[in-house]
Structure 1
Amino acid sequence: MASSEFPLHERVFNGDIKRVSRLIRTCDVSQRDNHGNTPLHLAVMLGHKECVHLLLAHGAPVKVKNAQGWTPLAEAISYGDRQIILLVLRKLKQQSREALEQRRPLIVQALKDIGDFDMELKWDFQSWVPLVSSILPSDICRIRKKGSRIRLDTTLVDFTEMRWERGDITFMFNGEAEPRNSLTVLDNKAKVFQRVRYEDTDIELEEEVDILMSSDIVAAQMSTKKITFSRAQSGWLFREDKSETIGGFRSHFYCVNNLVLESKKRREHLSAEDIQKNKTTLENIVKGSWDNAEASNGQERRRSLQPPEICNYTWTDYATSPPGQPPCLGRTKISKESSKAFKATVAMSDDFPMTVEVLLDVLEVVASFKQFQKLRDFMTSKLPPGFPVRIEIPVFPTITAKVTFTSFKWKTDLYSSLFSIPQTYTEDPSRFPDL
């Protein structure tokens, strides 16, 4: 990896801010070196704060992963400088909003091209852990679509890790509205509504930094590269391909093979007290006794860590190390990797009126609601012929979600009032603190 190949990387590595400011106008700030690192990765690993500022100001991507699977935000958390973490986190959220807005016209047009419909699906969360399984929720979601508007009715308000909230809730997306006003959530019992915040407040960002600095750095993904499908069998003596009617649609069952959840954790930035506190919190969650009040409310802000030892490696040391095996530039890593294969099943029907492609266009909108992201991820993998009317997929290492499409009808008579906020509702900006 000769220095001429990555001049911006080299100057960032050496903290040469004057040359970085000149090169940044002509070099690609998103270029990755032989270790998969961008200039921003190197800047945060080495704590070169001025370089971080400059790179972010010139649009350096924050979501990109290096060869070890870590983003610049992960490396910033490891280094432990609070200001750098906040800068990178703020830019990550900004870039995510910008990426969504770039896709927005295509999403809205795709919705308009789809016929209007009324659809129901049921969620069941299951676990092989007895205590957990007994307290997991289920829910029936109703999704209606008219033009570029979507209405989603649910009783499961939120499901994050092992915490959930019940209610009579409606999410509404208006593709014609300004981005800041396009997502609204209604509490139909309290008759209030809240606009889903387009940007996080400074206080919310500071609180998120506190959480990041006191928690494991986690990178997890559902690997679908080697997925294959085989027909599921039924019967004891005489085995045959499993088929049954689901929601009125004749369906064929398939086993999903080689579905793997890969996860990595790092905790070199945590104290022994942090680790013990996180362990206690996890135990309380499993017991169902976790309380939101136990979060960071009332606590002082986390302070920056003492910087790691000064890096004694030179650019040449870094550049000539084997690809994907760079020397440690920041804090010595304390990491753990795990890979777990999961059993999943899917029931496909040729009779279902909607296609997978159309559903993906809808999920592009509703995937911002946390229950749907894993479903969308799975739907993008290669499926057998037909429409997946039932899917059983892992959402956490010990929890499986079963999603069943129970009904579907194309509709031409949906009232526009269904997609508007009732006049009797009042606005409550604080009803859903996490939205």
Structure 2
Amino acid sequence: MAASDDSDYSLHECVFTGNLRKLSSLLRNHDVGARDKYGNTPLHLAVMLGRKECIHLLLNHGAPVKVKNNAGWSPLSEAISYGDRQILSSLLRKLKQQSREQVEERRPNLVAALHSIDDFYMELKWDFQSWVPLVSRILPSDICRIHKRGSSMRLDTTLVDFNDMKWERGDISFIFNGDRKPSQSLTVLDNKDKLFQRVRYEETEQEIEDEVDLLMSSDIIAVQMSTKSITFSRATTGWFFKEDRKELVGSFNAEFYNVNGMVLESRKRREHLTEEDLRKNKAIVESFTKGGTSQVDINGETIRRPSLPPPSPCSLTWEEYLSDPGTTPPVLGREMVYKQTCKAFRATVAMSSEFPLSVSMLLNVLEIVAPFKHFTKLREFVNMKLPTGFPVKIDIPILPTVTAKITFQQFTFKSDIPPELFEVPPNYHEDPTRFPDL
């Protein structure tokens, strides 16, 4: 969404000056997600200034929570910085609601796309590598097996999670049944322990409050792969007589390209955390990410992280905010404690015109398996404007010291895929807490 003209900043001005009555009347015929010269939406301003009534009014009118300003921060990021539990809970609930609505909006097209292609079996190999020798020796590899039948899909993997140089091995199946209602469409099987878990469609009140505790206890982090300056050049082979690199990947002829200008941008803020917080919170964060329970007091009551004292009131006027010559927004809330790092990476991709699946179909497949975090980077990469063909082999960075090599090594159209593959076996038992991140 592009920044608005000055004449479209009416909602922003109402929020800035706290004019709730005028804001309410203008919301009927103004874009609630309009962005000012800094990329801030009215909700950004309301959160940074702590205007609770404006926040609730904007959220009731569908103000987007996920949108980022020019500096890369969302209203949720600013709510963590401001440190008010009530504000943060409201934004988190609305964010999850908006995410569900977006998924449901795309769902009919996704199901139709699955129906439109013949049933298939595909193998996807992951090799994790590092330039740090000792690390490279202990990194995992995995072969994901994907079956597709009608509007159903099943992914079998032995790599449950891979994050911050830690991974969890297992024997996991992820099942998507597109023709079922949302609350029943996603299931994860633990084939080793004979357990299954429905991927939760809506969070409980406790889960929301647990997540608020986690957000308030953690750095505010924004990581993105910048694709603005990316170019592709043909990879070459040979010492003296260079020629374009072409190889067989699986059974597919492929042409190799270097991906130039790939930059991993990492932004981190911690103005909401004290030194004591940083010492204590590591254990809290680890507990939550492993599915641990909340802390309780001697009476068994859940201990919640309290709201922070509000930042000093903003001294800027609306006119001063709007006329500031800087490209980054003036500070309206808590003074930022900020660190940014940029690291350039080189990646390679092998494109084949012989692979029978299209890139758009692959994106649909990756959207379905989104709960598996290590697929997110692959989806971001495939979303780029790639050279002609299908990316049968990709080397992409997923962590500062770790690269993933992904190879589409087998693809077969099959008409005899059994429907039982997409059902929970009768001897499996339900465990709604087996996979805490799902």
Shorter-chain TM-score tier: over 0.9
Please state if 1:320 is matched with 2:323.
Answer: yes
TM-score by length of 1: 0.92
RMSD: 2.4
Query: Which of these residues, 121, 125, 130, is aligned with residue 124 of structure 2?
Result: 121
Structure 2 residue aligned with 1:181:
184
Could you tell me which of 318, 337, 340 is aligned with 1:337? 340
Counterparts of residues 250-261 of structure 1 (less than 5 Å): 250-261=253-264
Matched, 1:273 2:276: yes
Cα 1:370/1:126, change in 2 over 3 Å: same
Match of 2:396 in 1: 393
Q: Give the equivalent residue in structure 2 for 1:235.
A: 238
Q: Deviation of residue 349 (structure 1)?
A: 2.0
User: Gaps (5+ residues) in structure 2?
Assistant: 297-302
1:298 and 2:301 are equivalent in the alignment: no
What is aligned with 2:156?
A: 153
Q: Which residue type is aligned with residue 63 of structure 1?
A: K
**How many Å separate the matches in 2 of 1:388 and 1:292?**
33
Indicate whether 1:357 and 2:349 are aligned: no
What do residues 217-248 of structure 1 show as CA deviations (whole Å, max 9, x unaligned)? 11121112222112222333443322222212
Q: TM-score, normalised by structure 2?
A: 0.92
> 142-151 or 210-219, which moves further after superposition?
210-219
Query: In the aligned structure 2, how far is the partner of 1:271 from the partner of 1:51?
Result: 29
3-state SS, counterpart of residue 302 of structure 1: coil
Kindly provide the amino acid, as one letter, of the partner of residue 387 in structure 2: P
- Work out the CA distance in 2 between the residues paired with 1:378 and 1:146: 26
Contact 1:68 1:324 in 2 (8 A): no
- How many Å separate the matches in 2 of 1:363 and 1:250? 23
Q: Aligned-pair distance for 1:191?
A: 1.7
Work out the percentage of aligned pairs sharing the same amino acid: 62
Q: Could you say which residue in structure 2 is the equivalent of 1:208?
A: 211
Structure 1 residues 237 and 291 mapped into 2: Cα distance closer, same or farther (>3 Å)? farther
- Match of 2:12? 9
Quick one: structure 1 residues 2 and 426, their matched pair in 2 at CA, closer, same or farther if it must change by over 3 Å? Answer: closer
Q: CA deviation at 1:348?
A: 1.7
Cα 1:277–1:246 shift into 2, 3 Å: farther
Task: Give the stretch that moved more between structures: 261-270 or 244-253.
Answer: 244-253
C-alpha displacement of 1:3: 7.4
The answer to whether the 8 A contact 2:214-2:284 is kept is: no
After superposition, the Cα gap between the structure-2 partners of 1:281 and 1:124, relative to the gap in structure 1 and judged at 3 Å, is: farther
- Say if 1:254 and 1:346, in contact at 8 Å, map to a contact too: yes
Cα distance, 1:144 vs structure 2: 0.6
| Residue 360 of structure 1, CA deviation | 2.0
Q: Match of 2:63?
A: 60
What is the CA deviation profile of residues 226-282 of structure 1, one whole-angstrom value per residue up to 9, with x for unaligned ones? 221122223334433222222122222211111111121111111112335578999
Cα distance, 1:2 vs. partner?
A: 9.1
Structure 2 CA distance for aligned equivalents of residues 131 and 308 of structure 1 = 46
Assess if the C-alpha contact under 8 Å between 1:34 and 1:323 holds in 2: no
Check the 8 A contact 2:160/2:372 in 1, yes or no: no
Task: Provide, for residues 373-407 of structure 1, a one-character-per-residue CA deviation record: whole Å limited to 9, x for no partner.
Answer: 21111112122222211101011222211101111
TM-superposed deviation, 1:293: 6.5
Residue 92 (1) aligns with residue 101 (2): no
Equivalent residue number for residue 112 of structure 1: 115
Corresponding residue to 1:421 among 417, 420, 424:
424
What is the count of residue pairs matched by the alignment? 429
Distance 1:292 1:59 in 2: 30
Letter aligned with residue 341 of structure 1 = A
Say which SS state the counterpart of residue 321 (structure 2) adopts: helix
In structure 2, distance between residues paired with 1:214 and 1:425: 36
2:166 matches 1:163: yes
5+ residue gaps, structure 1: none
